[in-house]
Structure 1
Amino acid sequence: MNRSHLTIKILLVATLFTTACKHTLEVDPTHLVPEEHMWTTKNDARSAVFATYGLFRAALADNNAYLVYGEMRAGDFKSTTRSDLNAVTSNQLNATSTALEEWKNWRRFYAAIAQANLCLEKLSLVHKNDFRYTAEEMKLDIANVRFMRALTYFYLVRIWGDVPLLTNTGDGNFTPVKRSPADKVLELAAQDATVALAGLPWNYSDISPEMPSPYWAQPGSLWKGIVATKGAAYTLLAHIAAWKGDYLTTEKYTRLAIDNKSKGGYTFVNTAGLTGDAGTFSGAGDNIIFALPFKNIYQESSGSGHIEDWSLAEPYISRITPDIYVPNDTILRIFNESNDERFKVTDGGVAAGSYFTGFGNPIPLFTKIKQLSVSGSNPLRMFQSAIIVFRYEELVLLRAEALLFLGKDADAILQLNGVRAQRGLPDYTAAKGPLRNALLQERRRELLGEGWRWYDLVRFESLGAYTGLKPADIANGAQWWPVSKAVLSVNSEITQNKFWQQ
């Protein structure tokens, strides 16, 4: 099967599962074929495994959810006219809005978890029923599914805190499930990621003990950066540990991933490679560890799930004003060092760099990410930028963070300067301010628009300084999203997050 046909099949499965999945925790999956005819052939396994990927992508892409959860509450982006986005940027999440209710509903994430649970229970049936589906292939598929379940739970915890923990498909009847403590959910996620780690290859181009034959008979280049690998599992484990404040474990996993970067096939990219048309956000960057692609050549481009749908306007697409923008004064606060290739104001007072267009206008355009699906004017507003989940520069900055909190400042500075050098900046010195602030600022600059800022502020315990939330608000759970009315109405065991009960 060629890539185009495979991709279409994946999207079909994902769409059908997303549509069929009941709201909230009513996640008994509706199959594409009757149960008695499913799980009988190798193709059934392929469809089921990639449906897990497709459903997770749908959860993040739906109405730019990944950006809303990870970026829009943090203060750097502002909305022009949309009341729903204004409510998010001002942390008024109880406002009345159809979009807000969708963002507050975790059903899409649980659809992905339900599919992962189904795969973990049923893939062995395919191995039993179809001799072509070998034990080695099944083990690799299971490793991919475990990685995806771990990643999905990690997102759920970062967004809602305590969440229900489901590890099986149930008996077909809906049973109300309470929320489990976030630490317990993260423990399951870490266990899944650790098991996945043992069964995943570093890359899909080289035959290895974990992958004794080409994955699904496709060349390794097809899978680069878009399916789980050891590097992606190490990165996920490092982030889970950092979220828990266990920086000793974070340091271990980031070190293992970075020391084996040649096996994973990823490295730094320069600024042109980051923001160019064929760069990172095209889904083809050498710095990608794990991403969710939307390739136009495989008929995957879409209007939703891409920051460009909100951030671009003329001359890139036929719209006068974008939905979101970064104000000029905020741009200057973020990019406050000269020679930064991402954005700078030259000695002659001219703005330069690839992150923004029209600096100085009342509403400058955020153009770091601009993957249009057609050349020239784009009246259909279709985009093909990948959602970058993990990339190498972020991993190195996470390692610097771990070293900082372990009291190893000199080693942290080496990692920080590795990223700064890629963007034309001189080495960090103490004269530039406290190292902690420098790290948080570099993550702000480097990862702007990628859905990291809110989570960074939570980890660095800096929400109050940048968002105006008071310590009492944060103690009451203001950092979490409220749970949607739809969830609360069908599951009596779910209670609203404390801060949002008012």
Structure 2
Amino acid sequence: MKRIYKWLLIIPIGVFSACDSLLDVDPEFTQDAENFFNTPEDFNRAIIGVYDMMQPAYLNIWIGEIASDNSIAGGESVNDTRGLHEIQDMTHGGVNDELRAVMRVNYTGIARANYIFENQNKIDFQGKNLILAEARMMRAYFYFNLVNYFGDMPLIIDRRLSINEVSSTPRTPKAEIYTQIESDLRAAIEVLPATVSETGRLTSGAARALLGKVLLYQNKFGEAATVLGGLIDNNAGGYSLFEDFTTLFLVANQNVSEDVFTIQFSGLNGGDYGCLICLNGNAAVGFHGVRQYEGPFYADGNSYNLPTQDLYDAFDDNDIRRDATILDIDAFIASQPNPSSITYAIGGGGHTGYFQNKYIKRANELGLPDDDLTSPLNYRVIRWADVLLMAAEAFQRSGNDGRARTELNKVRQRAGMAGINASGDALYQAILRERRLELSGEGYRFWDLVRTGQAATAISGFVTGKHELFPIPQVEIDLVGGTWSQNPGY
């Protein structure tokens, strides 16, 4: 099987740093449509360019954890990726490099998908419908990210937006964006195959899982239960829980039955610190590594996104997921045969004694130099355990506690934990707690707290009515002539 790798395209479908407007992301006159989309290969190159824009997944991992009670920003100092420290402290505002990157990355992906749709009728060929279905799913994914971060956003479909239109394009209500997301996903489900021969290509199962998540985030619990329950009951993709959770996040165990929707990475050279979105590798992994580490198994990194004591203490002592999720560095060193020879440094950006143990730099999984930036460890956007827990929540919230317990306890059984027999709100809270234990370190925690109304209780400094959304980058408001209003509280 062949894996999809990153392509650098010269056609105008999204050079991220090419211009100042997030909506007009491409350099003019690089290569016009008259000279492209004339062959099936052109369309194949274009769709790989859309896949490419899912690779800056490190932003979702970092922000989804650091904005929550799961992690602190870490790093060399508080000025090392200062935007993450502001998000950690809930002091972030409209000037924040990480939040601007989120907006620009996702709109670049949308622009690339829209460019394909704009030219979809130029030629016909076998397989075009599949390419369009992939583009629909990824466009839905990009818009889902934008709605979660920023709420109302300009909705542009099937065409590029000229620079002259930017200042007159209003923010679209998020309900309308959700309607488009659902429409794109339902259309994609009808075309995408259940299984693929080319590793990394999207499947109908991935689209169904994302649709279930989109419905759950809108509190459409009955619809979410139908979609997710149907995915579980009619499991054409052959999904299942990987038997050994403790080794699930090793490179050797990726693209397994638990992987539903995965972003692929390789250990090849790509960008550099000046262009993290240009990378072939998973940037989060090196950044999560132990600073100046010298010892067995792990490799040195930048000590970002450090788990909190609160997260560590949330696990039962006999839960195998705790140590597989969180590296207690001092306990690990003490357990080695030569602890006195193992050293590491503490960064000035904060230290908890813990490191992310899912997406972390390991000595036998290094990519090409600079190996901080070239990890081949894939990012699991949605894995089967997440599907089961989302289904459990959807069933419980729509009145089917029995089915909710069934799906919840599948996840607990894999972890070696006793089954849950609760009902009603106690069951609901058990499901939410299980999501934290099972999925911590994967970038979901902040969104789970916000959508379930528990963020103000769990997150220090969280202001209700403000921090449910992140601020629109001020530079983007300025670029559209101030026609966009800022989100409340900012």
TM over 0.5: yes
Q: Secondary structure at the match of 1:79?
A: strand
Q: C-alpha separation between the residues in 1 aligned to 2:268 and 2:479?
A: 41
**Partner amino acid for 1:317?**
A
Cα drift, residue 233 of structure 1: 1.4
**Is residue 65 from structure 1 mapped to residue 39 from structure 2 by the alignment?**
no
Q: Secondary structure at the match of 2:113?
A: helix
Counterpart position of 2:383: 391
**Is residue 419 from structure 1 mapped to residue 411 from structure 2 by the alignment?**
yes
**Is residue 288 from structure 1 mapped to residue 253 from structure 2 by the alignment?**
no
**Is residue 312 from structure 1 mapped to residue 309 from structure 2 by the alignment?**
no
Partner residue of 2:240 out of 250, 257, 267: 267
Partner residue of 2:303 out of 322, 328, 332: 322
Cα drift, residue 237 of structure 1: 1.3
- What is the correspondence of 1:454-465 to structure 2 with a 5 Å cutoff? 454-465=446-457
**Is residue 230 from structure 1 mapped to residue 230 from structure 2 by the alignment?**
no
8 Å Cα contact 2:6-2:280 kept in structure 1: no
Counterpart position of 1:367: 357
Residues 145-154 or 299-308, more deviating: 299-308
- What is the correspondence of 1:322-361 to structure 2 with a 5 Å cutoff? 322-332=303-313, 334-335=314-315, 337-343=316-322, 353=324, 355-358=326-329
Cα drift, residue 170 of structure 1: 4.7
- What is the correspondence of 1:180-219 to structure 2 with a 5 Å cutoff? 180-204=172-196
Partner residue of 2:213 out of 239, 247, 269: 239
**Partner amino acid for 1:488?**
I
Q: 1:301 and 1:490, CA in 2 relative to 1: closer, same or farther beyond 3 A? A: closer
Q: Secondary structure at the match of 2:140?
A: helix
Q: C-alpha separation between the residues in 2 aligned to 1:12 and 1:391?
A: 33
Cα drift, residue 173 of structure 1: 4.1
Q: 1:203 and 1:12, CA in 2 relative to 1: closer, same or farther beyond 3 A? A: farther
8 Å Cα contact 1:139-1:199 kept in structure 2: yes
**Partner amino acid for 1:327?**
T
8 Å Cα contact 1:190-1:240 kept in structure 2: yes
**Is residue 116 from structure 1 mapped to residue 106 from structure 2 by the alignment?**
no
8 Å Cα contact 1:307-1:449 kept in structure 2: no
Q: Secondary structure at the match of 1:481?
A: coil
Q: 1:157 and 1:16, CA in 2 relative to 1: closer, same or farther beyond 3 A? A: closer
Residues 162-171 or 366-375, more deviating: 366-375
8 Å Cα contact 1:301-1:384 kept in structure 2: no
Q: 1:170 and 1:10, CA in 2 relative to 1: closer, same or farther beyond 3 A? A: closer
Partner residue of 2:33 out of 14, 32, 35: 35
Q: C-alpha separation between the residues in 2 aligned to 1:171 and 1:456?
A: 33
Q: Give CA deviations for 1:111-130 in whole Å, capped at 9, x if unaligned.
A: 11111111112132132xxx
Q: Secondary structure at the match of 1:442?
A: helix
Q: Secondary structure at the match of 1:36?
A: helix
Q: Secondary structure at the match of 2:489?
A: helix
Residues 288-297 or 416-425, more deviating: 288-297
Q: 1:22 and 1:416, CA in 2 relative to 1: closer, same or farther beyond 3 A? A: same
Counterpart position of 1:213: none
Q: 1:368 and 1:55, CA in 2 relative to 1: closer, same or farther beyond 3 A? A: closer
Q: 1:287 and 1:259, CA in 2 relative to 1: closer, same or farther beyond 3 A? A: same
Partner residue of 2:430 out of 431, 438, 444: 438
Cα drift, residue 79 of structure 1: 2.9
Q: 1:292 and 1:158, CA in 2 relative to 1: closer, same or farther beyond 3 A? A: same
Q: C-alpha separation between the residues in 2 aligned to 1:202 and 1:238?
A: 16
Q: 1:14 and 1:419, CA in 2 relative to 1: closer, same or farther beyond 3 A? A: farther
Q: C-alpha separation between the residues in 2 aligned to 1:255 and 1:327?
A: 34
Q: C-alpha separation between the residues in 2 aligned to 1:359 and 1:429?
A: 37
Cα drift, residue 240 of structure 1: 1.3
With the length of structure 2 as denominator, give the TM-score of the two structures.
0.83
8 Å Cα contact 1:294-1:384 kept in structure 2: yes
**Partner amino acid for 2:260?**
I
- What is the correspondence of 1:399-418 to structure 2 with a 5 Å cutoff? 399-418=391-410
Q: Secondary structure at the match of 1:78?
A: strand
Q: 1:18 and 1:159, CA in 2 relative to 1: closer, same or farther beyond 3 A? A: same
Q: C-alpha separation between the residues in 1 aligned to 2:12 and 2:421?
A: 49
Structure 2: state its 5+ residue gaps. 271-277, 333-351
Cα drift, residue 455 of structure 1: 1.1
Cα drift, residue 151 of structure 1: 1.1
**Partner amino acid for 2:320?**
E
Q: Secondary structure at the match of 1:390?
A: strand
Q: Give CA deviations for 1:202-255 in whole Å, capped at 9, x if unaligned.
A: 112xxxxxxxxxxxxxxx0x23xx222111111111111111111000000001
Counterpart position of 2:344: none
8 Å Cα contact 1:67-1:307 kept in structure 2: no
8 Å Cα contact 2:47-2:135 kept in structure 1: yes
Cα drift, residue 307 of structure 1: 4.1
With the length of structure 1 as denominator, give the TM-score of the two structures.
0.81
8 Å Cα contact 2:61-2:443 kept in structure 1: yes
Q: Give CA deviations for 1:332-382 in whole Å, capped at 9, x if unaligned.
A: 1x21x2421112xxxxxxxx5563242669522222223548558987423
Q: Secondary structure at the match of 2:284?
A: coil
- Choose between structure 1 and 2: higher helix proportion: 1
Cα drift, residue 8 of structure 1: 4.8
Q: 1:242 and 1:36, CA in 2 relative to 1: closer, same or farther beyond 3 A? A: same
Root mean square deviation, CA, Å: 3.0
8 Å Cα contact 1:71-1:454 kept in structure 2: yes
Q: C-alpha separation between the residues in 1 aligned to 2:324 and 2:474?
A: 44
- How many residue pairs get aligned? The number is 449
**Is residue 78 from structure 1 mapped to residue 87 from structure 2 by the alignment?**
no
Cα drift, residue 72 of structure 1: 1.3
Q: Secondary structure at the match of 1:365?
A: strand
